[in-house]
Amino acid sequence: MGITKKERLALFEKAGGRCECRSNRCTHHAPGERCTQDLGEGWDAFYLRGSNGRAADNLAALCAICYKNIMGAWEIDHKEMIERMKAIRKSMSRSS
Ligand SMILES: [Zn+2]
Ligand SMILES: [Zn+2]
């Protein structure tokens, strides 16, 4: 799942070409303060409230470093769930 080129462009413009990360879990900038790094090439769209809402206000443009940090934090927070999903996937592939 991703966003369309048009959505991506709109997001980039909304962000003014700069990273919108404000997470206090991110180590790329002061906690809770906006990262102001230019988005550059490797930026990605991050869903603020899960992947259900595709509205523009549910998306934030993150620079490559923040994206990695946020995904890392998400994985730590959801470690148990991720492990459970992996186990389910494994048992499914075994039975097929
Ligand atoms: Zn950033
Ligand atoms: Zn950040």
pLDDT at 83 over 80: yes
- pLDDT tens-digit profile of 19-53? 999 999 999 999 889 999 999 989 999 887 755 55
Ligand in closest contact with the CA of 69: 2
Ligand in closest contact with the CA of 38: 1
Report CA(36)–ligand 1 centroid distance (Å).
6
pLDDT at 56 over 80: no
pTM of the model: 0.77
Report CA(32)–ligand 2 centroid distance (Å).
9
Mean pLDDT computed over 45-67: 79
Phi, psi of 44 (to 5 degrees): -145, 160
Task: For residue 15, give Cα distances in angstroms to 19, 52, 80, 83.
Answer: 7, 21, 33, 34
Ligand in closest contact with the CA of 28: 2
User: What mean pLDDT value characterizes the chain?
Assistant: 88
